[in-house]
RNA sequence: GCCCAGAUAGCUCAGUCGGUAGAGCAGUAGACUGAAAAUUUACGUGUGGCUGGUUCGAUUCCGGCUCUGGGCA
């Protein structure tokens, strides 16, 4: 069991900068927990650390996957665990930094992705067989009533996946009762950066304008020329999907701002679930020095 | 100056044959085990522009005023 810094927070709050400074001050390396920065060619829209920043501190899991190749939490978990161990073995401090909540879960908890891998064809057939949300939901209830939660009644994607797992042999779905079984490999120093909501939303709006000015439309154009289509999963990323649709730039920019604000809000809500396991720092009222001091104290 | 249309939730608008009003978006709170920047659940009271009149009762009908579009001069 060794110490690992986990640095979370909503998009645009300033995680990248804090992570880099921590890595410099504490002899660390950064393992990204970001589902978009992991893809190559998607630089501006995913707000990747700059080449200069990556020269200052070694980053893992940034720019590592081709947007064409399939990637998911399970793959992330494998790779991230490997890198965390590598960094630790070299006597450096692993700093996991990003905004993808599920990826954090895959490291913080004993999430087991062993058995049935997702089979899109299988799920498609389920959706044909149970062709209304009600029927699909009923099927899930008959297999595992505790898994059939009201919040998911119209969440076809998720219900289909749950049914798939149950039909393929899982007696009941893990993850409802025992998701809180903590991973014993690491002792997490879990930080969440926060900021006044209004300020964050304004920051997001400004950042989107900067991305547009920095050439996001061209980046998307290149991706299209490389053969990527709106249906590709990596192209569902905010900023990419809106521009892939080919709408006027100013209109797309507004949509991107809105989607990013919604995303930030979902992240904030996600991180709340960790309760007392997470230490909050307000970037405006606390600042970097308090974060550094807190980590030093815990190390 | 005249004519027409409009003025209702933060925004765009609907509706009420007269019984004080509801959608979408925005916003807020949640859910979350192979797409997760994904997917999904819940939450809607506002001086109905102002002011007179008719009426048991007006946001609704009538008059005046103000403002905003558009047209004519």
Question: Which residue, counting CA atoms, is nearest to the C1' of nucleotide B42?
Answer: A151
Distance A223 CA to B7 C1' (A): 48
Nucleotide closest in space to A234 (CA vs C1'): B35
Q: What is the ipTM of this complex?
A: 0.92
User: Rounded to 10 degrees, what is the CA torsion of A63, A64, A68, A74?
Assistant: -120
Most confident range, picked from A123-127, A134-138, A261-265: A261-265
Distance A9 CA to B48 C1' (A): 43
Strand B bases with any atom < 7 A from protein Cβ: 25-41
- Give CA–CA dist A242/A193, Å, rounded: 28
Pick from A78-82, A117-121, A175-179, A265-269: least confident: A175-179
Task: Give the per-residue pLDDT at A207.
Answer: 96
Residue A175 pLDDT > 80: no
Residue A10 pLDDT > 90: yes
Average pLDDT over residues A160-186: 79
* Strand ranges across the sheet with A93-98: A59-60, A28-33, A93-98, A2-8, A186-194, A279-282
Q: What is the mean pLDDT of chain A?
A: 93
A161 touches strand B (CB under 7 A): yes
A77 touches strand B (CB under 7 A): no
Residue A71 pLDDT > 60: yes
- Give CA–CA dist A195/A14, Å, rounded: 10
Task: Give the per-residue pLDDT at A156.
Answer: 93
Q: pLDDT, tens digit, for every residue of A14-49?
A: 999 999 999 999 999 999 999 999 999 999 999 999
């Amino acid at each position: 069991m060794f110490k690992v810094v986990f640095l979370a927070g909503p998009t645009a709050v300033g995680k990248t900068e804090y992570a880099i400074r921590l890595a410099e001050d504490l002899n660390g390396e950064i393992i990204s927990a970001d589902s978009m920065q992991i893809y190559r060619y998607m630089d501006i829209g995913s707000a990747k650390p700059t080449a200069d920043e990556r020269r200052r501190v070694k980053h893992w899991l940034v720019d590592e996957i081709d947007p064409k190749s399939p990637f998911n939490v399970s793959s992330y978990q494998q790779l991230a665990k490997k890198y965390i161990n590598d960094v630790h073995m070299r006597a450096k401090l692993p700093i996991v930094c990003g905004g993808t909540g599920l990826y954090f879960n895959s490291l913080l908890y004993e999430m087991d992705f062993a058995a049935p891998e997702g089979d899109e064809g299988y799920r498609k057939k389920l959706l044909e067989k149970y062709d209304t949300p009600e029927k699909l939901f009923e099927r899930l209830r008959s297999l595992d009533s505790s898994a059939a939660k009201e919040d998911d009644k119209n969440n076809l994607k998720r219900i289909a996946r749950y049914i798939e797992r149950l039909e393929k042999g899982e007696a009941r779905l893990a993850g409802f009762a025992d998701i809180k079984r903590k991973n014993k490999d690491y002792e997490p120093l879990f930080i969440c950066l926060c900021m006044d909501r209004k300020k964050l939303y304004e920051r997001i709006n400004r950042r989107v304008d900067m991305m547009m000015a920095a050439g996001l439309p061209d980046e998307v154009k290149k991706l299209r020329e490389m053969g990527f289509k709106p249906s590709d999963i990596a192209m569902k990323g905010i900023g990419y999907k809106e521009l892939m649709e080919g709408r006027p730039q100013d209109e797309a920019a507004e949509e991107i701002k809105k989607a990013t604000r919604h995303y930030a809000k979902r992240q904030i809500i996600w991180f709340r679930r960790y309760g007392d396991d997470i230490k909050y720092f307000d970037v405006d009222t606390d600042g970097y020095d308090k974060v550094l001091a807190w980590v030093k104290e815990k190390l």
